[in-house]
Structure 1
Amino acid sequence: MIPYLLAYAHTLAARPLDRVLHPHGLTVRQFGLLTQLDLEPELTMSELARQLGVTRQSLHEMVGELETAGYLRRAPGATGRTRRLALTPRATRLLAGVRDPLRKVEDDFLRGLTPAEAATLRRLLQKLLAHATDDEAWLA
């Protein structure tokens, strides 16, 4: 069953990710939140929760933790009445600093695949996520 295979692959992929992110006080989900905001800085809280596959309550908890850790701040939104989340310089440095270690984790995880197979897997997962989240940004 594909959902089981994806869940098991997540378990195996998350372990080395945790080893890279733990020294920075981050979970894989928190890193995903920072990455998503880096890619799409104008996301609303609702859009972000949908893309990450979490409830708004869980998202608010993650945001609070990331604010306390100095990775996020609240900034004025498009209108004077709205607020948006913004990465802090600390978050920007973190994302740049973990790029190479995470690339190595990905390379190790995909070691049994040819480059063409890895590209196909990436494309299929992006397509699946775009459909599941109703967000074509995954296809970029």
Structure 2
Amino acid sequence: MPAESPVPFTTTLHVRDHCLCLHMQRAARALARLFDEALRPLGLTNQQFSLLMSLNRPEPPPIGPVASLLGMDRTTLTAALKPLERRGLVAISPGDKDRRSRLLAITPEGLALLAEAVPIWQRTHDTVDARLTEIEPAKLRQALIAVS
């Protein structure tokens, strides 16, 4: 028989029912699986889609701002870029002013794949929005931005 826990089981139930972090993680994992499945025919994950989308801008950004936008550290972003770079979807080059910095650019192949992915993302996103009957999706996004 296990020793009596100094944390009562009622506390476990309270945390299960009230922990924002737990519920955010569960929701994030469920959404990630949904978008991963939708984007799978293109050979993309939802993380890769977000990464490619973050590079869809007029000028190639340095790693730091992209990592910040995606809520990643630079090392994780660098690892996430490698498969996209191998596929020819992203190009990494030295900075113009500081050769130690790295600029990230989406390639024409990456843009073409992103153009194919956007309608899939939109349909999947519309499905998720339709499920949100208790809260307006815009209000949920605002709340998530406030937390992040």
Which TM class, normalised by the smaller chain length?
0.7 to 0.9
Tell me, in whole angstroms, the C-alpha distance in 1 between the residues paired with 2:75 and 2:93: 20
**Unpaired segments ≥5 residues, structure 1:** 130-140
Q: For 1:107-118, list aligned pairs within 5 A.
A: 107-113=126-132, 117-118=136-137
SS in 1 for 2:130: coil
Deviations 1:55-81 (A, max 9, x none): 322222221211101110124534263
> How high is the TM-score relative to the length of structure 1?
0.75
1:91 is aligned to 110
Q: What is the 5 A alignment of 1:48-67? A: 48-67=66-85
Report the Cα distance in structure 1 between the residues aligned to 2:58 and 2:146, rounded to whole angstroms.
Answer: 18
Name the structure where helix makes up a greater proportion of residues.
1
Structure number with bigger Rg:
2
Matches within 5 A, 1:1-140: 1-39=19-57, 41-75=59-93, 77-79=95-97, 81=99, 82-113=101-132, 117-129=136-148
CA contact (8 A) 2:39 2:120 kept: no
Distance between the aligned counterparts of 1:12 and 1:41, measured in 2?
33
Q: Against the structure 1 CA distance between its residues 45 and 18, is the aligned structure 2 distance closer, same or farther, given a 3 Å change threshold?
A: same
Q: Distance in 1 between matches of 2:77 and 2:116?
A: 24
**Structure-2 change in CA distance of 1:6 and 1:90 (3 Å):** same
Aligned counterparts of 2:49 and 2:124: Cα–Cα separation in 1: 15
- Amino acid in the other structure paired with 1:70: G
Equivalent residues, number: 129
TM-score (norm 2): 0.72
SS at structure 2 position matched to 1:34: helix
Q: Confirm or deny: 8 A CA contact 2:61 2:105 kept in the other structure.
A: no
